Structure 1
């Protein structure tokens, strides 16, 4: 079997409120204002596809949110999204590989974040056979082509694949291709899924 794991809120806890909190501290713009103005719009999607640079992304976001930040301040806040590794998921990934399954990560991410998390959480790289990143592939979930590209690269059919993600749109996109897709709603989702498989 091929098991595909998303990164944020699947393998690593993330929290965008931490990003906004850091930006608020740097800029003195009230947190409530930032929460109101923060959207994952076109610049966000372009950045995840690797279509614009980190600097262009920072400039666009600061412009959209009326945020007076230097690039360094923006980047520092952007990395605050990462909270902590979910060790039980890393353990599951390692066990699946020991059992002879193929385990990969498929993440909508961006170059700026990849300067941080691989060094911060080396356990992820160690637990995965391969890591697929949206900005390197030039496409992002829930686009059908990103799932098709992973299946093709891995040599698996949709029917032999299980996908875990915390975003309902991404789950729907994979479901439409016939991939067994599990919406991760909390830390217990993945352990519970595999406990049921073993019953």
Structure 2
């Protein structure tokens, strides 16, 4: 079987409020204002597909949110999203590989974040056979093409794959291809699934 794991809030806890907190400190824009004005808009999606640079993305977000930040200040906030690893999921991934299954990560992410988390959490690469990142693939979840590309690359059919993601739209995108898809709603979802299915 092929097991596909999302990164944020599946393998690693993330929190956008931490990002806003750093940006608020640097920009002196009230936190509540930033929380209201942050949207995952066009620039966000283009950045995750690798279509614009980190600097272009930072400039667009600062403009949208009315923040005057240097690129370094923007980056410091952007990296603050990561809270910590979910060791119980890493343990599941390692166990699946020991049993001969293929284990991969599929993440909507961006170059700025890849400067941080691989070094901060080396356990992720150690627990996965391969890591698929949206900005390297030029496509992002929930677009059906990204799941098709992953299946083709891995040599598995949809009915041989199980996918875990914390975003309902991403789950629906994978389900359109017939991939068994599990919505991760908390830290117990993945261990709970395998308690019944291993």
What's the TM-score once normalised by structure 2's chain length? Answer: 1.00
Q: Over aligned residues, Cα RMSD in angstroms? A: 0.4
Superposed CA offset, 1:105-150 (max 9, x none): 0000000000000000000000000000000000000000000000
Q: CA deviation at 1:66?
A: 0.5
What aligned pairs does 1:49-68 form with structure 2 within 5 A after superposition? 49-68=49-68
Which residue in 2 is equivalent to 1:5? 5
Counterpart for residue 130 of structure 1:
130
Counterpart of 2:23?
23
2:145: which partner in 1?
145
Matches of 1:40 and 1:171 in 2, distance apart?
18
Unaligned runs of at least 5 residues, structure 2: none
Per-residue deviation, 1:197? 1.1
Q: Structure 1: which 5+ residue stretches go unaligned?
A: none
- Between the aligned partners of 2:194 and 2:90, the Cα distance in structure 1 is 13
Does residue 169 of structure 1 match 2:182?
no
Determine the structure 2 residue equivalent to 1:70: 70
| 1:69 alignment partner, SS class | coil
How many residues matched?
A: 198
- Give the ranges of 4+ consecutive aligned residues of structure 1 lying more than 2 Å apart after TM superposition: none
Could you tell me how far apart the structure 1 residues matched to 2:171 and 2:81 are?
A: 22
Q: Distance in 2 between matches of 1:106 and 1:121?
A: 16
